[in-house]
Amino acid sequence: MSAPPLLVCVAAAALYALGGHGRVGGAGRGRRRRDAAFYSGVLVLLAALEPPVDTLADRSFAMHMTQHVLLLTVAPPLLLLGRPWPRMWMPFPPTARRAAARGLAHGRSTAWLRLAGRTLARPPVALAAMSAALAVWHLPALYDAAIESGAVHVLEHLSFVGTALLFWGPLLEAPPVRARVDHLRRAAWFALACLPGWVLALVLAYASTPLYAAYASLPHRPGGLSALGDQQVAAGVMWVPGSLPYLVAAVFFVYRWLEPGPGAPAAEPRPEELSWT
């Protein structure tokens, strides 16, 4: 296994586990569901970034697209359903938590961070950022650069995961930032999130020649596919598996909207969710 992804995932899992010994997140079946979601998200990250997926991604465009789908649409919602942020904060010393919380909440030097957080947490801004990351990194020049350079590849993956967390977090009501919109509008945002992937899938599927030199130049591919065939399979990966998590979330929030009394903006965070200090 390569060291950086493994170390990051182990550190995140350790902080989450240690934070679970406090009172953040409560107990019982809800707590077990959150634990299962978070640790599943960590495992999905490892699966996407380690062999055999990462190794095969160098020889198969379809597998590389599968890797991107895991980073954009599978790992982020699982991690966020675990309600990780307050809990991962708890293992640090109380004095450090208080100082950091005061600085982030009231510090003049961090005012830009608060403004950026409020802006980026708005669904249209977050969706635009995630869509831009998907579009920019699939331009042939940048895509080939990511294949050829490990550092560029890491930057690509960080932008996918980061913008996906920004988009999924507020809509899934993951503290500390929540989208103050009703459930029907949440469903609409998730449905709209399918469109960038569909556009990319159409471009890949209907291209008459391979778009990426890094894959077109390979002498062999898994399954004996041609470069164009591999590209068309990649389009299918983006079209169907890449859309499924968004569609599941959209349907879920439509049902929430149809329930008696829902559809209102999310309630204020519970006291235990704010126990960062």
Q: Tell which phi-psi region holds residue 263, choosing left (phi > 0), alpha (psi between -120 and 50) or beta.
A: left
> Residue 104 falls within a domain, yes or no?
no
Instruction: Determine the pLDDT at residue 6.
Output: 87
Instruction: Determine the pLDDT at residue 274.
Output: 39
Distance CA 62, CA 57 (A): 8
> Residue 166 falls within a domain, yes or no?
yes
> Residue 254 falls within a domain, yes or no?
yes
- 26 backbone dihedrals φ, ψ, rounded to 5°: 70, -155
Domain limits at 139? 3-88+112-266
Instruction: Determine the pLDDT at residue 269.
Output: 46
| Pick from 238, 231, 227: nearest CA to 205 | 231
> Residue 230 falls within a domain, yes or no?
yes
Q: Other CB atoms closer than 10 Å to residue 97's CB: what's the count?
A: 16
pLDDT in tens, 153-190: 999 999 999 999 999 999 998 877 777 889 999 999 99
> Residue 97 falls within a domain, yes or no?
no
- pTM (whole model) above 0.85: yes
> Residue 233 falls within a domain, yes or no?
yes
Please enumerate in sequence order all residues whose Cβ is within 8 A of that of 127, keeping only pairs 6 or more positions apart, or say none: 167, 189, 192, 193
Intervals of the chain under pLDDT 50: 1, 24-25, 262-264, 266-277
Instruction: Determine the pLDDT at residue 230.
Output: 97
Instruction: Determine the pLDDT at residue 263.
Output: 45
Instruction: Determine the pLDDT at residue 262.
Output: 43
> Residue 98 falls within a domain, yes or no?
no
Split into its structural domains, the chain has a count of: 1
